[in-house]
């Protein structure tokens, strides 16, 4: 990831799911959700999202370690579109 931040004791790590303007999903991890969402929407995020702007945060989970967040990212990437849609709806039925 292009987001670099000094990791300090007590830092949280997030796995997140974005819904792109074409209805597809993008999954990633970060230590700063707001900064990462802003970067994606400015075209400075992943190549995948640059062509599918704007993106919206639809789901996230918080972890105590980078390895946990990255493991969850890999798990979410294996879900199909319907499973990701259900996950986002179940977790945040009324949005954020």
**What CATH number has the domain bearing residue 86?**
3.40.1440.10
Task: For residue 65, give the DSSP letter.
Answer: S
* Range(s) of the domain holding residue 73: 13-91
The overall average pLDDT reported for the chain is 89
Give the residue carrying structure tokens 């075209």: 43
Quick one: pLDDT at residue 37? Answer: 97
Is 96 within a domain?
no
Burial class (CB in 10 A: 0-12, 13-18, 19+), 71: middle
On the question of pLDDT at 52 being above 70, the answer is yes
Q: What is the pTM of this model?
A: 0.84
Dist. CA 8–CA 17, nearest whole Å: 24
Dist. CA 67–CA 69, nearest whole Å: 5
Domain count, the chain: 1
Is 4 within a domain?
no
Is 34 within a domain?
yes
- Among 13-17, 28-32, 92-96, the range scoring the smallest mean pLDDT is 92-96
Is 79 within a domain?
yes
Q: With DSSP H G I counted as helix, E B as strand and the rest as coil, what are the percentages for the chain, rounded to 5?
A: 40, 20, 40
């Amino acid at each position: 990831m292009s987001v670099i931040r000094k990791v300090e004791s007590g830092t949280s790590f997030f796995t997140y799911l974005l819904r792109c303007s074409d209805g597809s999903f993008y999954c990633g991890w970060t230590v700063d959700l707001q900064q990462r969402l802003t970067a994606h929407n400015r075209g400075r995020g992943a190549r995948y999202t640059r062509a599918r702007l704007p993106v919206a945060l639809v789901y996230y989970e918080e972890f105590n370690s980078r390895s946990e967040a990255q493991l969850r990212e890999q798990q979410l990437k294996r879900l199909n579109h319907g499973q990701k849609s259900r996950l986002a709806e179940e977790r945040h039925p009324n949005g954020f």
